[in-house]
């Protein structure tokens, strides 16, 4: 709800706080980067010190930060509260998925539960804009953050009664330096990209990008030598795991970028009200919600391989439909795009989440969920940061170059109609290029999956031990594996089954 409402609220936020082009992007995606950089750490902390305790603490901080964001008086303050919301969000996602594995130990029930869990995200996307549209029509922009408070209050009342504390006895500390390196590396690298796209290259932006890349390089090398790494990069030697992880990242990047740019397109280019823009987004959100719920049952019959391949080609088709939109019309094409791509998003959300939980022992569910959610949240933030920056760059290069954003340009006093039309056309060009780039990436990954994902019953060439692969395949084919067969990961051989993180 929070993310989808904010996309629609950005024109009003821009009007009230007058953020620069890169500040506007930070308002949207600093949450995702804060979540993505801390998910694995908080997943491990929850495993060791108690998931329910972490959920309650995180929910409290999330509620307080939401209230602070609602009453922020400057763009800098809003970015700070959004970052704090991200820190709190990083405590919620892995522990919530881990609790599901405790509540539903039966694989069949767990698969259905995770499908419904994924559907609640899609339902939030659908409900948020409608509720937010009503609020924005009647109140100030900050009211959209207040919708979080009743949800947080209800959770804090019910969770201690309905959920039980779960922790494990795993040893090993969380490496603080790794947490700092990952967070700093992501933020500084993206700052360099965003600042350069919005305002052109500068010594500060280039230096920040260089330091960020160096920090991420150090982070990766450190993980390879730590006895208890935050991320086991050795898993990416397995092509199946790599495809699954990228499937967790790339669809979220596509969704977040097109939702952000699409909200501006509907309101600032086509001139729709916030509420009407929200209603136009409903069909796509409904398709996503229904797909999330239906996917586990369908994938149990067709297999994960077919699902992973289909999701990328559906998203590719949906994104390409956006290329038919223009600066004067395009609502029908936009709705068709969100519906077709929404089915692909729904498949990916359900498959990746269930793969993470069902592929690991219960005591590692928090860490596994954190890795899956990390790919989702980083994808969510990267979509806005990189693709949003690409669109901003094209707007700066092709537009009238009177202001950094479309909304700021259209609000200039005495703006000539020809210049307004030129600004709108350059924004649509940026939208088209962002959609085309993302569609090409999805098509390439879909083709790669067709070529490299093993078919049912065929051992993975990437398995660390061929005997283990044979045992896994035999187990999947045996009459005693009915529960495993119900999992959406049953048709892909399990490589490295003893690993602590998901390996399909």
Separation CA 438–CA 232 (nearest Å): 27
* Structural tokens at position 496: 């490295």
Separation CA 504–CA 501 (nearest Å): 10
Q: Where are the domains of the chain?
A: 2-174+228-486, 175-227
Tens-place pLDDT, residues 124-140: 776 777 787 788 878 88
Task: Say if residue 483's pLDDT is above 50.
Answer: no
Separation CA 140–CA 278 (nearest Å): 17
Separation CA 45–CA 35 (nearest Å): 14
Tens-place pLDDT, residues 88-123: 988 887 677 777 777 777 877 777 787 787 778 777
Q: What is the mean pLDDT of the chain?
A: 77
- The total of other beta-carbon atoms located within 10 Å of residue 43's CB is 32
Separation CA 238–CA 230 (nearest Å): 18
pLDDT for 402 equals: 79
Task: Say if residue 274's pLDDT is above 90.
Answer: no
- The total of other beta-carbon atoms located within 10 Å of residue 313's CB is 17
What CATH code would you report for 2-174+228-486?
Answer: 1.20.1250.20
pLDDT for 502 equals: 35
Is the distance from CB of 323 to CB of 436 less than 8 angstroms?
yes
Separation CA 239–CA 434 (nearest Å): 27
pLDDT for 334 equals: 95
Please give the span between the terminal C-alpha atoms of the chain, in angstroms, as a whole number: 30
Q: What is the mean pLDDT of residues 381-391?
A: 80
pLDDT for 48 equals: 66
> What is the rounded (10 degree) CA torsion for 265, 271, 274, 280?
-60
Least confident of 170-174, 275-279, 288-292, 495-499: 495-499
pLDDT for 69 equals: 93
Distances (CA, A) of 346 to 116, 263, 434, 470: 11, 20, 21, 32
Tens-place pLDDT, residues 398-414: 878 777 778 778 888 88
* Structural tokens at position 100: 């599901």
Q: What is the mean pLDDT of residues 44-49?
A: 68
Distances (CA, A) of 494 to 24, 205, 416, 418, 470: 43, 43, 62, 60, 9
pLDDT for 379 equals: 78
3-state secondary structure 397-425: HHCCCCCCCHHHHHCCCCCCHHHHHHHHH
Q: How big, in percent rounded to 5, are the helix, strand and coil portions of the chain?
A: 80, 0, 20
Task: Say if residue 491's pLDDT is above 70.
Answer: no
Q: Which residue has the higher pLDDT, 499 or 350?
A: 350
Residue with the two structure tokens 């919301």:
85
Least confident of 64-68, 300-304, 454-458: 454-458
pLDDT for 361 equals: 54
Task: Say if residue 83's pLDDT is above 50.
Answer: yes
* Structural tokens at position 195: 């600042």
Q: What is the mean pLDDT of residues 49-56?
A: 80
Task: Say if residue 231's pLDDT is above 70.
Answer: yes
- The total of other beta-carbon atoms located within 10 Å of residue 248's CB is 26
If DSSP codes are grouped into helix, strand and coil, which group holds residue 232? coil
Distances (CA, A) of 369 to 232, 288, 339, 422, 429: 14, 21, 27, 46, 37
Tens-place pLDDT, residues 157-193: 998 888 766 555 455 577 888 888 887 887 788 778 7
Closest CA to 333 of 270, 268, 242, 380: 270
Tens-place pLDDT, residues 446-458: 998 888 777 754 4
Tens-place pLDDT, residues 306-334: 888 899 999 999 999 999 999 998 999 99
Tens-place pLDDT, residues 367-376: 556 666 667 7
Q: What is the DSSP letter of 174?
A: -
In whole angstroms, what separates CA 150 from the centre of its chain? Answer: 24
Separation CA 278–CA 262 (nearest Å): 11
């Amino acid at each position: 709800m929070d993310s989808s409402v904010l996309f629609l609220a950005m024109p009003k936020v821009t009007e009230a706080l007058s953020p620069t082009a890169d500040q506007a992007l930070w308002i949207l995606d600093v949450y995702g980067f804060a979540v993505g950089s801390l998910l694995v750490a908080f997943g491990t902390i929850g495993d060791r010190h108690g998931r329910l305790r972490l959920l309650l603490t995180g929910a409290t901080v999330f509620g307080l930060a939401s209230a602070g964001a609602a009453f922020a008086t400057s763009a800098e303050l809003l970015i700070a509260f959004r970052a704090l919301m991200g820190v709190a969000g990083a405590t919620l996602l892995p522990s919530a998925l881990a609790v599901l594995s405790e509540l539903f130990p039966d694989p069949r029930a767990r698969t259905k539960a995770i499908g419904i869990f994924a559907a609640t995200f899609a339902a939030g996307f659908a409900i948020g804009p409608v509720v937010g549209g009503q609020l924005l029509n009647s109140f100030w922009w900050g009211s959209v953050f207040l919708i979080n408070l009743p949800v947080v209050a209800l959770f804090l009342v019910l969770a201690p009664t309905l959920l039980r504390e779960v922790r494990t006895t795993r040893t090993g500390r969380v490496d603080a330096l790794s947490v700092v390196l990952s967070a700093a590396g992501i933020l500084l690298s993206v700052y360099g990209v965003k600042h350069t796209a919005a305002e052109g290259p500068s010594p500060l932006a280039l230096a920040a990008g260089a330091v960020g890349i160096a920090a991420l390089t150090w982070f990766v090398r450190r993980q390879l030598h730590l006895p208890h790494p935050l991320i086991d990069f050795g898993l990416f030697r397995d092509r199946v795991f790599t495809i699954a992880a990228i499937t967790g990242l790339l669809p979220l990047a596509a969704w977040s970028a097109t939702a952000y740019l699409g909200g501006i397109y509907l309101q600032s280019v086509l001139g729709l009200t916030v509420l009407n823009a929200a209603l136009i987004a409903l069909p796509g959100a409904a398709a996503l919600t229904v797909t999330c719920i239906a996917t586990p049952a369908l994938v149990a019959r067709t297999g994960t391989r077919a699902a992973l391949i289909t999701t990328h080609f559906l998203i590719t088709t949906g994104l390409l439909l956006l290329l038919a939109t223009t600066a004067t019309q395009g609502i029908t094409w936009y709705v068709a795009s969100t519906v077709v791509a929404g089915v692909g998003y729904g498949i990916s959300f359900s498959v990746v989440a269930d793969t993470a939980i069902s592929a690991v022992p219960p005591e590692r569910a928090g860490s596994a969920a954190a890795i899956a959610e990390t790919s989702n949240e980083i994808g969510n933030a990267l979509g806005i940061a990189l693709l949003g920056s690409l669109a901003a760059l094209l707007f700066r290069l092709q537009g009238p170059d009177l202001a950094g954003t479309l909304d700021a340009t259209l609000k200039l006093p005495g703006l000539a109609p020809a210049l307004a039309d030129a600004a709108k056309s350059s924004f649509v060009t940026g939208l088209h290029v962002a959609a085309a780039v993302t569609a090409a990436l999805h098509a390439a990954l879909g083709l790669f999956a067709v070529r490299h994902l093993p078919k049912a019953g065929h051992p993975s060439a990437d398995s660390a031990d061929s005997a283990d692969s044979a045992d896994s395949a035999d187990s999947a084919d045996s009459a005693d594996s009915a529960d495993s067969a119900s999992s959406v990961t049953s048709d892909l051989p399990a490589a490295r089954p003893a690993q602590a993180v998901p390996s399909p």
